[in-house]
Amino acid sequence: MHQRQKALLQLLVKGNDAFSQMNELAEQLGCSPRTLRSDLNVLTEILKENGLPPVERVRGVGIRFLLNVDEKNKLEQWLNRRVHASPEKEAKERQLFILYHLLMSKTPLTLDYFSSQYYVSTPIIRADLDEIKKVCDRFNVSLQTIQRVGTHVIGSETDKRALLSYAVKQLGKVQLHEKKLLQFFESIEVTTVTLALKAIQKKYKLDFSSYSFEGLRLHALFTIKRVLLNQPVVVPYEKQLEIRQTHYYTWAKEFAEQTEVALAVRFPENEIAYLALHFQNVRLSKVRDELVNRPQWVDELVTSLMADVSELTGLPLKEDVTLHENLLLHLENTASRLENNFIISNPLLNEIKKAYVYLFYVVQNAVENYVDGKKMSLPEEEIGYLTVHFQTAVERLKVKPPKLIKTGIVCHYGVGVSAFIQARIENRFPDIQETILLSEEDVASAITDYSLDFILTTIPLSVELNVPTQQISPLLNEDEMEEIGNVLKGTSEKVANNERESWSLLDYTQPFLVHLQKDFKNRDDLLLFMAHELEKRGYVKEGYADTVLNREYRASTAIGKEIALPHGKPSLITSSVISCVTLKEPIQWGSDKVAVVFLFSLKKDDLKNSKAKGFFKFIQEVMADSVKWTKLKNETDVLTFLNEATIQKS
């Protein structure tokens, strides 16, 4: 059960006997009514397994969750167990947020306030406060709780500021980690798509290569996001008629039918046809067609991309065969889309740009280097998809592969509980390479078919298996998790080198290139001012300003949080530099508002060093740290601004 489902449960419990409208609940939770219905299906399974009544749904009236006193106590005890079973990191992050809010609040805050904020029971908040008191003691600060009033912090202003500084820094350490790609999607979406593709693969005896399967899965997940956001791909009607006559369309249609019910979505014909085209283009591991009919530029761009991104990131991506195949497959589809005037959106483009600021810029830079002087271009949406493939390759490098375990899960409680077990296992144990959901009838053959190393089952199995097998409860208590850990112990090894290097904006700028609290009214005037300032000081050559504007006209460089990172042609840069402007009032920047602008003017050779990468880490830190962001945005003194524009070594 993820955070939104917990929030939904909390709202329903608070509603008591009153019916709530689906549209109103969806708006409160920031999702679509369709997604909310999917969440309700998951909650129904979980509540049933814990002996709790289902959520009552009345067509035309709404939904409500009726509980008697005993049932409410049972629900609270169950939530209490679940929270205690959550990873230590989640609890630490919650405690740091509670401490931060206590320090920032002018009035005492109650247990109920924090309980509603973090969707945990009040006993858990009490336990959190006990942990927070230990931290407070180290700063000569104490917590005082007054019954029916709340909790507040007691101590000198100096000590409280020191504690606040500590809390903010620790929050940065906890939160500043790159999102893994599948974290963009709900676990129920990943599970459903995986199962549906496996079913197609088994039914039609398809031997997908690993990279083809991953490519199909990612495409299907992006498809679901497009459908939910009402951004479907546009496939010409003639192309739809053509693909409908093939068995690839049959596979795509069956995939859609299997996922529509579980995820409460409806695939338009455009998307089914487009998925069929992906099935048509995948490689089977036993059928390696080396004579693929594709434009020459696809192979050239893949070679150029892999070389440039490897050089700039310093990672051995150039030798990654899986990445090479995935890029070829994606760009073959891109070539087909460009040739046939297909229109495709990237529903996660903004998220990709925010989560992988440096990698997106590097891929974008590499693409622009290749297309420079050619009569072609790639839309920003495609660069987002290419970034996804490179990020997948980066994530593969983070785990050494000698011995990773494949685990089968047999669960007869339905897709909701199955997805819950799968998510808990995968989040808790990095040793597990893959989890596969199985029926009891398929488990024996699946051991051979999928080379399984370990079986988890919620029911006694009637067959003898030649791999370790463990029976578990539907909610996986801590004792069971420890037993699983003992089996998996020593099976994989994480690459551990997460120390942050210090970084300062002064490494790449001068005080006279930092302009604070300006009152520009439009984007173009601001960019021309910044570029001409660099030009007259000799940092860039004549014409650089035009390349900055042209780059912005192709696609906005706003990345969220009112920040933009414009840049121009690297070949016109004589000396690497970063200049900055902050604005009194945000201005329109494409479809966004922007108040802080960093003109990122780095030569290609400098882009690959650690100092350049430090800038992007700094940007991500500012986006994650509201306190730091507010200070930078509102600062009026240049030297103070530069002092804040740093990353401290950890």
pLDDT tens string 126-154: 999 999 999 999 889 999 999 889 999 99
Which ranges of 268-378 would DSSP assign to H, the alpha helix? 269-281, 296-313, 321-340, 349-355, 357-371
Q: Is the pLDDT of residue 576 over 50?
A: yes
Helix H, strand E, coil C: the string for 187-240 is: HHHHHHHHHHHHHHHHHCCCCECHHHHHHHHHHHHHHHHHHHCCCCCECCHHHH
Amino acid at 514: V
Q: Examine the domain organization and report whether 229 and 352 are in the same domain.
A: yes
Looking at the domain assignment, is residue 285 inside a domain? yes
Q: Is the pLDDT of residue 85 over 70?
A: no
- Is the Cα torsion angle 396, 398, 404, 406 positive or negative in sign? negative
pLDDT at 10: 73
β pairing state of 503-504 and 493-494? unpaired
Q: Examine the domain organization and report whether 365 and 388 are in the same domain.
A: yes
Alpha-carbon span 578 to 506, nearest angstrom: 9
pLDDT at 179: 41
Residues 22, 27, 30: CA angle, nearest 5 degrees: 120
Q: Final residue of a domain: which of 119, 150, 172?
A: 172
Q: Examine the domain organization and report whether 164 and 195 are in the same domain.
A: no
**Tokens at 250, concatenated:** 């049959």
Looking at the domain assignment, is residue 260 inside a domain? yes
Phi, psi of 226 (to 5 degrees): -60, -45
367-402 pLDDT, tens digit per residue, is 888 888 788 888 888 898 899 888 888 877 764 444
Give the structural domain span for 162: 88-172
Q: Final residue of a domain: which of 469, 494, 519?
A: 494
Q: Examine the domain organization and report whether 479 and 525 are in the same domain.
A: no
| Cβ pair 361, 565 in contact under 8 A | yes
Averaged pLDDT of the chain:
79
pLDDT at 154: 92
454-513 pLDDT, tens digit per residue, is 888 888 888 778 888 888 887 777 778 878 877 776 443 333 333 456 788 888 888 899
What is the CATH number for 441? 3.40.50.2300
Q: Is the pLDDT of residue 15 over 70?
A: no
How much of the chain is in helix, strand and coil states, percent to nearest 5? 55, 15, 30
Phi, psi of 405 (to 5 degrees): -105, 140
Q: Examine the domain organization and report whether 582 and 526 are in the same domain.
A: yes
**Tokens at 449, concatenated:** 């078919």
DSSP assignment of 555-604, as one string?
S--EEETTEE-----GGGBSS-EEEEEEEEEEEEETTEEEEEEEEEE--H
Looking at the domain assignment, is residue 79 inside a domain? no
Q: Examine the domain organization and report whether 463 and 531 are in the same domain.
A: no
Q: Examine the domain organization and report whether 221 and 321 are in the same domain.
A: yes
Q: Examine the domain organization and report whether 304 and 387 are in the same domain.
A: yes
**Tokens at 236, concatenated:** 């010409």
Q: Is the pLDDT of residue 174 over 90?
A: no
Looking at the domain assignment, is residue 76 inside a domain? no
Those residues whose C-beta lies under 8 Å from the C-beta of residue 267, and which sit 6 or more positions away, are: 223, 227, 256, 259, 260, 275
Q: Examine the domain organization and report whether 43 and 157 are in the same domain.
A: no
Looking at the domain assignment, is residue 75 inside a domain? no
Q: Examine the domain organization and report whether 207 and 342 are in the same domain.
A: yes
- CB neighbour class for 290 (10 Å; exposed up to 12, middle 13-18, buried from 19): exposed
Name the nearest CA neighbour of 650 among 496, 494, 498, 495.
Answer: 498
Q: Examine the domain organization and report whether 111 and 141 are in the same domain.
A: yes
269-308 pLDDT, tens digit per residue, is 888 988 888 787 665 544 444 445 678 899 999 999 999 8
Helix (H) or strand (E) holding 406: strand 405-410
Out of 338-352, 377-391, 626-640, which region has the weakest mean confidence (pLDDT)? 338-352
Looking at the domain assignment, is residue 82 inside a domain? no
Q: Is the pLDDT of residue 108 over 80?
A: yes
Q: Final residue of a domain: which of 172, 202, 228?
A: 172
Looking at the domain assignment, is residue 592 inside a domain? yes
540-566 pLDDT, tens digit per residue, is 999 999 999 988 888 888 888 899 999
**Mean pLDDT value of segment 631-640:** 90
Those residues whose C-beta lies under 8 Å from the C-beta of residue 510, and which sit 6 or more positions away, are: none
What is the CATH number for 218? 1.10.1790.10
- For residue 142, the cross-strand partners are 154
Phi, psi of 485 (to 5 degrees): -60, -40
Out of 29-38, 274-283, 518-527, which region has the weakest mean confidence (pLDDT)? 29-38
Q: Examine the domain organization and report whether 281 and 150 are in the same domain.
A: no
Helix (H) or strand (E) holding 438: strand 432-438
pLDDT at 177: 38
Looking at the domain assignment, is residue 179 inside a domain? no
The DSSP symbol for 246 reads S
| Cβ pair 289, 329 in contact under 8 A | no
Q: Is the pLDDT of residue 67 over 70?
A: yes
Total count of domains within the chain: 5
pLDDT at 431: 67
Alpha-carbon span 416 to 420, nearest angstrom: 6
Selected residue with higher pLDDT from 487 and 117:
487
Alpha-carbon span 514 to 528, nearest angstrom: 15
**Mean pLDDT value of segment 62-86:** 65
What is the CATH number for 586? 3.40.930.10
What is the CATH number for 162? 1.10.10.10
Name the nearest CA neighbour of 539 among 580, 503, 596, 579.
Answer: 579
Tell the residue number behind the tokens 């991309």, with chain if given: 305
